[in-house]
């Protein structure tokens, strides 16, 4: 383990901005300054912030595609196996493998499994539910769901230093406040 | 602000007044804070409960008792307490099922299809329309279950290995229906809940007491608005909308297959799936109008649900109503042109037989009265619009009623009969309305009626928003 570069009581530093554009600009500056362990927080999604954070594409599409594909395949195989092998019924003289009649249920299972895997994927990747997070210790952070735009640089960042990082954040354009986040 | 309304030369005014600018989608001076307070304070108990809410809740709760009593008696005695008998085994219960599930579809249409089509006006309607979907599907789901005769065996509809060594009959539309409706409910619930998470986080952060903080905190699951989380969230939301769109079409198509796959004259028709889907959207928008008006009035949401919204809903209602009317025409035309003696005779029975009154009532309420929406006054005056929407509710109920009473007279005159619902049919029917009203009243009081997050995105950039452009562009 490398020597800690920060006081262990600090989770990171949190800078608040008034507008979404200021947060986008600040994130870009922080990235250019070489910070990597950071995140932006806002009351509504701002794609540019995620872009600047180096997260241009989420994993959700691949997860839902896989989930849907697995669900639909398993569903279709289940219908085929039941209707053809396990419990063959003669319905109006139709073939046991009347695949076109399996499509509606296959489709419904595709949608169901894709949706469930997407939601489970979102929660798992975001680490939710997470009732406690160090950021919630900062009283002003409640504005992140109201009208505040925040940039947090975490103490785990190799370039993090309680003093220089604080100076860096305070020097950003349109910054409203910089606060220390207790761990 | 001068309201230009006098001459109704539509071409001149309609274009600049609607759609082109956002000012008609949000009224008053709003910003990120006021949007949150306007919507969130209702949930946090900061807004006094309006009288109308109590009327809605108490009347709904009273009607709900009719459902409880009706179901208790039904389960004790069996489906014989209803008016169903040979030849009409699908009575009012199936009418109610299709009526409710149709109403539900507008919610998915507004939240999913209009999202994909970049319609900004969906934003203030989608949350309560999605709730309407959920509650309507709950009401709908009751009917096939209680219609089974032995509802405690409902789980036989789903495939699972069992010691009876039997499996469902997967070639039956009724089996497809079980999958379609349960998938529709599950996916609608997920879509609705995912949309609510950021709003729950707002309510958690601005809760007025410990209980609110804990309950909304648990529901928010620790959401903190991280940019990384938002990126995943938006992608999920977009794909859910993308697969929700074909889902809603498939669900009502499958509901129509319940009828169309049979060989009953006038049921066995290829027009049924599109005709049912259009009817569903038609009925659903009528219900959206019915729910939007009280929200505007009781909670003063006129700045967020503007007259423009009502106008657009009325236009969609009018448009889908015309598709439905085309369906009525097409049914008659195909019966005539198809040269089938049974189809044509059943058509005549439908129009001039013992239940002919219900057919003409249907034409009046679904085809003729909605034409009033061609006039702007009927689209923008709340009372008049609600009356037209009420006519659509009645009409759409009778549309399915007309379909089921077709069973009274089909191929074989010796098996002709009559059908009349009993008190217990109506107890379940109005009781389900009570369930809907109760659930919707509770929703209005405890959950954000409009999406706080999306309303904030809709704000112009000068007011701290993103001009309503965020959703589609951020989803990656």
What is the reported pTM? Answer: 0.89
Residue B7 has pLDDT above 90, yes or no: no
Model confidence at B14: pLDDT above 60? no
Contact B234 A45 (CB under 8 A): yes
Convert the pLDDT of each residue in B43-61 to its tens digit: 888 888 889 899 999 999 9
Tokens 């405890």 identify what position? B446
The domain in which residue B236 lies consists of: 30-474
Out of B169, B205, B247, the one facing A145 most closely (by C-beta) is B205
Check residues A21 and B464 and name the one with the higher pLDDT. A21
Q: Write down the domain spans for chain A.
A: 10-57+134-182, 60-126
The answer to the question of residue B396 being in a domain is yes
Q: Angle B173-205/B92-108 helices, nearest 10 degrees?
A: 50
* Tokens representing residue B405 in the block: 């009473």
- The token duo for B198 is 């950021």
Confidence of residue B8 (pLDDT cuts 50, 70, 90): very low
What digits encode the pLDDT tens for the residues A57-92?
889 999 999 999 999 999 999 999 999 998 998 888
Please give the pLDDT value at position B287. Answer: 92
Which of B186, B228, B465 lies nearest to residue A50, judging by beta carbons? B228
Q: Work out the pLDDT band at B236, boundaries 50, 70, 90.
A: very high
pLDDT at B24 over 70: no
Q: Which residues of B touch A123 (CB under 8 A)?
A: 221
Reply yes or no on whether the pLDDT at B86 is more than 80: yes
Distance CA B297, CA B299 (A): 6
Contacts of B236 (CB under 8 A, 6+ apart): A60, A64, A118, A119, A121, A122, B194
pLDDT at A113 over 80: yes
Those of residues 41-80 in A touching chain B at CB distance below 8 A are 41-47, 49-50, 53, 55-61, 64, 68, 78-79
In this complex, is the C-beta atom of B237 within 8 Å of any C-beta atom belonging to chain A?
no
Q: Does A135 touch chain B (CB under 8 A)?
A: yes
* B258-B262-B267 Cα angle (round to 5): 80
The dihedrals phi and psi of B279, each to the nearest 5 degrees, come to: -60, -35
Report pLDDT for A1: 44
For residue B9, the model assigns a pLDDT of 38
CATH value at residue B42: 1.20.1630.10
CA distance B247 to chain A (A): 7
Q: Give a yes or no: residue B72 inside a domain.
A: yes
pLDDT bracket for residue B10 (50, 70, 90): very low
pLDDT of residue B472: 64
The reported pLDDT for the residue numbered B296 is 87
Q: Which of B171, B456, B457 sits opposite A94 (nearest CB)?
A: B171
Domain A10-57+134-182, what fold? Alpha-Beta Plaits (3.30.70)
Q: How large is the C-alpha radius of gyration of chain A?
A: 25
Closest-approach residue (CA) in chain A for B178: A105
Mean pLDDT of A45-61: 87
Residue A22 has pLDDT above 70, yes or no: yes
Closest residue on chain B to A92 (Cα): B171
Contact state of A68 with B243 under an 8 Å Cβ cutoff: yes
Report yes or no on B248 lying in a domain: yes
Least Cα distance to B241 among B112, B106, B107 occurs for B112
Q: How much of chain B exceeds pLDDT 90, in percent?
A: 45
B104-120 pLDDT per residue, tens: 888 888 888 888 887 77
Mean pLDDT over all residues of chain B? 86
| Mean pLDDT along residues B136-155 | 89
| Pairwise CA distance, residues B315 & B322, whole Å | 11
Contacts with A116 from chain B: Cβ below 8 Å: 186, 190
CA distance B67 to B74: 10
Q: What residue in A sits closest to B261 (Cα-Cα)?
A: A101
Q: Structurally, how many domains does chain B consist of?
A: 1
What is the per-residue pLDDT for B83? Answer: 87
ipTM: 0.90
The whole-angstrom distance between B473's CA and the closest CA on chain A is: 7
CB contacts, 8 Å: A136 with chain B: 224
In this structure, is residue B4 part of a structural domain?
no
Residue A34 φ/ψ region, left for φ over 0, alpha for ψ in the -120 to 50 degree band, beta for the rest: left
pLDDT grade for B473, boundaries at 50, 70 and 90? low
* Cα B373 to Cα B378: distance, rounded to the nearest angstrom: 5
Q: Which of A108, A115, A126 sits opposite B180 (nearest CB)?
A: A108
pLDDT value at position A21? 87
Q: How many CB pairs under 8 A join A and B?
A: 206
pLDDT tens sequence across B325-369: 999 999 999 999 988 888 898 899 999 989 999 999 999 999 999
Instruction: Please write the tens of the pLDDT for every residue from B423-438.
Output: 999 999 999 999 999 9
Conformational region of residue A92, where left means phi above 0, alpha means psi within -120 to 50, and beta covers everything else = left
Tell me how close the Cα of B194 comes to any Cα of chain A, in angstroms: 8
Alpha-carbon torsion B10, B12, B13, B14, what sign? positive
Task: Please state the separation of Cα B312 from the chain's center in Å.
Answer: 16
Q: Is A15 on the interface with B (CB under 8 A)?
A: no
Q: Is residue B10 part of a domain?
A: no
pLDDT band at A112 (very low <50, low <70, confident <90, very high): very high
Would you place residue B126 in the very low, low, confident or very high pLDDT band (cuts 50, 70, 90)? confident
Partner residues linked to A149 by β-bridges? A17
Indicate whether B209 pLDDT > 70: yes
Give the number of residues written for chain A: 183
Supply φ then ψ for residue B309, to 5 degrees: -65, -45
Instruction: Identify whether B6 is part of a domain.
Output: no
Q: Is the pLDDT of residue A129 over 70?
A: yes
pLDDT value at residue A8: 60
Residue-wise pLDDT for B383-410, tens only, equals 899 999 999 999 999 999 999 988 888 8
- The backbone torsions φ and ψ at residue B254, rounded to the nearest 5 degrees and listed phi first, read -65, -40
pLDDT of residue A7: 53
Q: Which chain B residues are Cβ-neighbours of A139 within 8 angstroms?
A: none
């Amino acid at each position: 383990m490398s020597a800690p570069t920060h006081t262990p009581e600090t989770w990171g530093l949190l800078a608040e901005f008034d507008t979404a554009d200021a947060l986008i600009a600040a994130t870009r500056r922080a990235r250019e300054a070489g910070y990597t362990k950071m995140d932006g927080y806002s009351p509504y999604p701002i794609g540019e912030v995620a872009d600047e954070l180096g997260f241009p594409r989420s994993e959700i599409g691949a997860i839902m595609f896989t989930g849907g594909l697995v669900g639909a395949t398993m569903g279709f195989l289940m219908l085929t196996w039941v209707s053809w092998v396990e419990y063959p019924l003669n319905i109006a003289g139709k073939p046991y493998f009347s695949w076109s009649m399996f499509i509606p249920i296959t489709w419904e299972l595709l949608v169901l499994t894709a949706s469930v895997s997407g939601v489970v994927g979102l929660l798992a990747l975001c680490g939710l539910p997470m009732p406690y997070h160090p950021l919630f210790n900062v009283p002003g952070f409640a504005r992140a769901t109201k009208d505040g735009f925040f940039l947090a640089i975490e103490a785990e960042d190799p370039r993090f230093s309680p003093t220089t990082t604080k100076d860096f954040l305070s020097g950003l354009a349109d910054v409203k406040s910089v606060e220390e986040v207790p761990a | 602000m001068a309201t230009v309304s006098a001459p109704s030369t539509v071409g001149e005014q309609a274009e600049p007044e609607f759609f082109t600018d956002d000012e008609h989608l949000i009224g008053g001076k709003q910003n990120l804070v006021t949007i949150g307070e306007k919507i969130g304070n209702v949930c946090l108990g900061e807004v006094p409960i309006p009288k109308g809410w109590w009327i809605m809740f108490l009347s709904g709760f009273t009607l709900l008792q009719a459902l409880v009593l009706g179901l208790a008696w039904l389960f004790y005695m069996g489906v014989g307490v209803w008016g169903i008998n040979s030849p009409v085994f699908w009575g009012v219960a199936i009418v109610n099922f299709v009526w409710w599930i149709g109403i539900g579809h507008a919610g998915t249409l507004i939240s999913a299809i209009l999202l994909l089509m970049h319609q900004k006006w969906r934003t203030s309607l989608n949350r309560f329309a999605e709730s309407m979907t959920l509650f309507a599907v709950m009401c709908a789901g009751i009917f096939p279950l209680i219609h089974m005769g032995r509802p405690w065996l409902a789980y036989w509809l789903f495939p699972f290995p069992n010691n009876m060594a039997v499996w469902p009959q997967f070639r039956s539309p009724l089996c497809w229906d079980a999958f379609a409706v349960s998938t529709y409910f599950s996916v609608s619930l997920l879509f609705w809940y995912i949309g609510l998470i950021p709003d729950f986080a707002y309510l958690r952060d601005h809760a007025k007491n410990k209980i609110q903080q804990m309950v909304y905190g648990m529901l928010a699951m620790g959401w903190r608005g991280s940019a990384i989380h938002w990126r995943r969230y938006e992608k999920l939301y977009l794909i859910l909308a993308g697969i929700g769109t074909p889902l809603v079409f498939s669900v009502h198509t499958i509901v129509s297959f319940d009828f169309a796959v049979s060989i009953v004259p006038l049921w066995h028709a290829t027009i049924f799936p599109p005709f049912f889907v259009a009817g569903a959207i038609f009925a659903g928008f009528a219900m959206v109008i019915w729910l939007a008006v009280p929200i505007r009035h009781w909670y003063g949401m006129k700045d967020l649900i503007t007259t423009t919204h009502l106008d657009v809903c009325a236009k969609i209602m009018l448009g889908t109503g015309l598709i439905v009317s085309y369906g009525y025409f097409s049914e008659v035309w195909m019966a005539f042109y198809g040269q089938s003696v049974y189809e044509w005779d059943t058509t005549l029975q439908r129009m001039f037989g013992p239940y002919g009154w219900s057919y003409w009532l249907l034409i009046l309420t679904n085809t003729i009265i909605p034409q009033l929406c061609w006039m702007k006054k009927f689209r923008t005056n709340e009372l008049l619009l609600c009356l037209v929407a009420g006519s659509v509710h009645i009409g759409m109920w009778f549309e399915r009623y007309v379909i089921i009473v077709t069973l009274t007279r089909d191929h074989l005159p010796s098996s002709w009969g009559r059908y009349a619902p009993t008190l217990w049919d109506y107890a379940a029917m109005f009781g389900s309305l009570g369930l809907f009203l109760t659930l919707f009243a509770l929703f209005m009081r405890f959950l954000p009626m409009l999406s706080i997050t999306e309303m904030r995105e809709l704000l112009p950039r000068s007011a701290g928003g993103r001009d309503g452009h965020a959703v589609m562009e951020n989803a990656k």
